[in-house]
Amino acid sequence: MKIPLRDDEIAYLSGWRGTLALVRTLGHSFYLDKEEEEIVIFTDDHDLLVASTFEVGEKARRGLKCTLFLIREMSSPLIVLRKGHPASSRLKIVVSVGERTRIRCDVQPGTHPEQDVLCGTRDLEGVEILSAPGGAEVKNFTGEVMTEKLL
């Protein structure tokens, strides 16, 4: 499925138990902060920021929108926790950046520096999001898609 996405838009992919959101990176660079180092991730205009939450509905969409705005527009860093970190179970939203994101439910939230894997709910397991000029290509997803203004 192709999802057209303008620079100022956010797209939501809703499952039964979780929601994904995506925005274009616009070629911005992002900071990935790990306990021992900080990495700068450089992106192309068509790459994507993808966020995942274990909730659905309006509250979930507002949280995803706020998170992606903070990261893209205000340069908030992406934080990677060490495996087994107690805060992992309290994370409400996790984010990846790049040209490809795969949703998996067997990973611990917030502990993966690999930016092509993102924690998600069982109903979103196996969804793959690929950047494409002007939007995204989404594989293995049959739920509801909605777009709105990010800014």
Domain chopping of the chain, boundaries: 2-149
d(CA 72, CA 25): 7
Distances (CA, A) of 59 to 18, 19, 92, 106, 143: 12, 11, 11, 25, 18
**Which pLDDT tens digits describe the chain residue by residue (151 residues)?**
999 999 999 999 999 999 999 999 999 999 988 888 898 999 999 999 999 999 999 999 999 999 999 999 999 998 888 787 877 778 899 999 999 999 998 776 665 666 788 989 999 999 999 999 999 999 999 988 999 999 7
